[in-house]
């Protein structure tokens, strides 16, 4: 049974002077070195976290463990997610967060005391960096040998949990058992002692006993969630224990816990002018003059900002049209169109630099040929000052891959790993090539076949937008080619109809360049809020950035808004969106009913 113990530390209760509540909108940090082969992809669980936080208006950065020794960086974030399971740190021991120094653990604990909200699992820092298991000496993991003991308010011991199951007892997120009994021995760290203020949100249970499984502790000004396994926040589709809804609900609990008590729901919307999702149109080069002209006509007709990713192989006349059209921006697609995974460091660097030199343009965006992103490719794009790349295709229908929420790219190679400022803005998984590739065969591509394939393409576009992009307030990056979409008016019609549909929706149709710049402006944005009865003061600091159409969301309609610059209040689906331009700093006074 659970034993309550008194741990000696000070709990600081937030003080609300004269009924005034003060807080700021949080930012989150996820510790991961990346997934798979270190080329910029991330774990399915990270994708879910990115999407969950994006719907809450929380800006997320991905970092590796070095940030745990950079306390000045840690203080910029309010939520810290530290997974210890495989798939988040796929490499040798120095990546795994089950191995940690006392200094790292102390820094985490101090960060929580100062107001941070921590989410991790029972294996965090169990071992020293030299590989020694901290539990071996006394058979227990507590404040005496584990710097996070007071932070979590628990003492842990290995127990055979083979006949136990985990049950959600307080959160109402998991309706069924989270972990079920096993037929074989299953030894896990389990909380056998808890401090008086620890909240037990889920329990290990069998016929005779119950022990804390998922706990929440108030430590100083902050909060610490301790999971029995991080697989609780990993999707069942990839071997985890939860579905998307459950993961989203838990991260919303984390978000609400981080902010604390308040009377009015106020969130940040990342996109411009109250738009809840984004559409960016892009094409890779390739096609005849007629096919290009069909695409150009479509762009001009719909006034669509469009990015073309190009190589020197583009016909000179077409290249001139690409450069002269004000709706079109050209970006890098390499010099020789190679498979970058077969190139070394210097070959990779030459591809970027020679393409820039050929076009006499300092490209800031890139797409890898064959969407074959590589470690050195990502590393050098970042080193050469590129802002974004768009090669890790987002699926999230048949399986999880890529993200419709932009993220800064983590990479690793053997013992070397780093987190880049380079953004991944994932393209849609199925390009027009997937639907129109029959044109490559020797047989004529008949109109009947084109209509059949166009219908499939149209279905995919709507399904991807509705099920993946719109539900996550994300970005849809269309990937097309003149040689496929531009085959005929038949093959182009799905895109025309889809764009016409988007114009009836609350979608920001913009260039990929603009979407990337917008996202980067949110990195240093600070939103501080003070409530006193029905009056709310919002102080916003963009760190010198001009952000047009900045948007805050309210669940309740303001009675009065006092702001000395142009602003607009929009009502969309029972929520209220305050839209305004921000130039460095702003103070907005709101009065509610």
Whether the predicted pLDDT of 16 surpasses 60: no
List all residues 6 or more positions away from 83 whose beta carbon is below 8 Å from its beta carbon. 30, 31, 32, 43, 45, 89, 97, 120, 121, 230, 233
Number of other CB atoms surrounding residue 358 within 10 Å: 13
Whether the pLDDT of residue 1 is over 80: the answer is: no
pLDDT of residue 7: 33
Q: How confident is the model at residue 37 (pLDDT cuts 50, 70, 90)?
A: confident
Please determine, looking at this structure, whether the domain spanning 277-516 carries the CATH number 3.10.580.10: no
Give the residue among 92, 99, 96, 74 at the shortest CA–CA distance from 83: 96
Q: Which helix (H) or strand (E) holds 514?
A: helix 512-521
Rounded Cα distance between 154 and 233, Å, is 21
* CA 169 remoteness from chain centre: 29
Mean pLDDT to the nearest integer, 36-64: 96
H or E segment and range at residue 189? strand 187-194
Beta bridge partners of 475: 278
Q: Where in the chain is the domain with CATH 3.40.50.880?
A: 3-262
Q: What is the mean pLDDT of residues 218-236?
A: 97
Average of pLDDT values for 15-24?
76
Question: How do beta strands 567-572 and 535-554 pair?
Answer: unpaired
Whether the Cβ atoms of residue 426 and residue 404 lie closer than 8 Å to each other: yes
Residue whose tokens read 């003061």: 537
CA 132 vs. chain centroid, Å, equals 34
Which pair of tokens denotes residue 362? 């300092």
Contact (Cβ atoms closer than 8 angstroms) between residue 209 and residue 197: no
Average pLDDT over residues 136-141: 93
d(CA 422, CA 424): 7
- Residue ranges, CATH 3.20.20.370, the chain: 277-516
- Taking residues 378-388, report their average pLDDT: 99
Nearest to 112 by CA among 84, 143, 151, 82: 151
Q: 220-256: b or e for each residue (b if 16 or more CB lie within 10 Å)?
A: bebbbbbbbbbbbbbbeeeebbbebebbbbbbebbbe
Q: Quote the pLDDT of residue 572.
A: 95
The residues pairing with 187 across neighbouring beta strands, listed in sequence order, are 160
Half-sphere CA count of 564, side-chain side, radius 13 A: 4
The C-alpha atoms of residue 373 and residue 527 are separated, in whole angstroms, by 36
The answer to whether 362 and 375 have CB atoms below 8 angstroms apart is no
Among 345, 342, 410, CA closest to 376: 345
State which fold the 3-262 domain adopts: Rossmann fold (3.40.50)
User: In which residue are the tokens 């290990």 written?
Assistant: 204
pLDDT reported for residue 487: 98
Give, for 147, the enclosing helix (H) or strand (E): none
3-class DSSP assignment, residue 274: helix
pLDDT at position 486 is: 98
Pick the CATH number of 524-592 from 3.40.50.1380, 3.30.360.10, 3.40.50.300, 2.60.40.1180: 2.60.40.1180
Q: For the residues 526-540, what does the mean pLDDT come to?
A: 97
| Pairing status of strand 210-219 against strand 222-227 | antiparallel
């Amino acid at each position: 049974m659970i034993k309550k113990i008194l741990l000696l530390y000070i709990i600081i209760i937030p003080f609300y002077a004269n009924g005034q509540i003060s807080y700021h909108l949080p930012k989150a940090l996820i510790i991961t070195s990346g997934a798979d082969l270190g080329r910029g992809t991330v774990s399915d669980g990270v994708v879910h976290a990115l999407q969950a936080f994006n719907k809450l208006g929380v800006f997320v950065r991905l970092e590796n463990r070095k940030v745990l020794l950079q306390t000045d960086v840690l203080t910029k974030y309010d939520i810290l997610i530290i997974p210890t399971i495989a798939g988040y740190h796929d490499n040798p021991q120095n990546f795994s967060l089950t191995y940690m120094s006392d200094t790292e653990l102390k820094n985490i604990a101090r960060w929580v005391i100062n107001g941070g909200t921590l989410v991790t699992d029972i294996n965090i820092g169990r071992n020293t960096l030299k590989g020694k298991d901290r539990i071996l000496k006394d058979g227990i993991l507590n404040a005496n040998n584990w710097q996070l003991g007071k932070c979590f308010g628990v003492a842990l011991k290995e127990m055979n949990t083979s006949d136990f199951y985990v049950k959600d007892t307080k959160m109402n997120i998991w309706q069924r058992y989270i972990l079920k009994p096993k037929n074989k021995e299953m030894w896990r760290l389990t909380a056998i002692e808890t401090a008086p203020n620890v909240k037990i949100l889920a329990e290990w249970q069998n016929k005779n006993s119950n022990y804390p499984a998922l706990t929440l502790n108030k430590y100083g000004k902050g909060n610490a969630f301790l999971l029995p396994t991080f697989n609780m926040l990993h999707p069942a589709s990839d071997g985890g224990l939860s579905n998307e809804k459950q993961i989203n609900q838990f991260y919303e609990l984390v978000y609400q816990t981080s902010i604390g008590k308040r009377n009015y729901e106020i969130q940040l919307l990342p996109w411009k002018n109250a738009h809840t999702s984004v559409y960016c149109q892009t094409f890779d080069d390739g096609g005849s003059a007629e096919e290009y002209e069909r695409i150009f006509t479509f762009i001009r007709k719909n006034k669509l900002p469009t990015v073309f990713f190009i190589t020197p192989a583009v016909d000179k006349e077409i290249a001139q049209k690409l450069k002269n059209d004000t709706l079109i921006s050209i970006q890098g697609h390499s010099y020789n169109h190679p498979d970058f995974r077969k190139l070394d460091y210097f070959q990779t660097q030459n591809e970027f630099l020679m393409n820039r030199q050929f076009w006499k343009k300092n490209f800031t965006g890139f797409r890898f040929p064959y969407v074959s992103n590589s470690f050195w490719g990502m590393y050098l794009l970042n080193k050469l000052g590129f802002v974004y790349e768009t090669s890790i295709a987002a699926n999230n229908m048949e399986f999880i891959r890529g993200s419709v929420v932009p993220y800064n790219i983590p990479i690793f190679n053997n013992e070397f790993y780093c987190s880049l400022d380079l953004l991944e803005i994932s393209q849609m998984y199925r390009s027009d090539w997937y639907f129109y590739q029959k044109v490559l065969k020797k047989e004529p591509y008949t109109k009947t076949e084109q209509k059949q394939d166009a219908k499939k393409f149209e279905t995919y576009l709507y399904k991807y937008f509705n099920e993946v992009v719109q539900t996550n307030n994300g970005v849809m990056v269309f990937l097309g080619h003149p040689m496929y979409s531009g085959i005929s008016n038949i093959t182009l019609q799905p895109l025309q109809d889809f764009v016409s549909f988007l114009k009836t929706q609350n979608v920001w149709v913009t260039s990929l360049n603009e979407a990337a710049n917008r996202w980067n402006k949110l990195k240093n944005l600070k939103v501080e809020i003070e409530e006193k009865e029905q009056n709310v003061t919002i102080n916003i600091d963009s760190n010198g950035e001009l952000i047009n159409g900045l948007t805050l969301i309210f669940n309740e309609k303001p009675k009065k808004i006092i702001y000395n610059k142009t602003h607009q209040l929009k009502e969309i689906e029972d929520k209220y969106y305050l839209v305004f331009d921000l130039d460095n700093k702003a103070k907005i006074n709101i009065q509610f009913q």
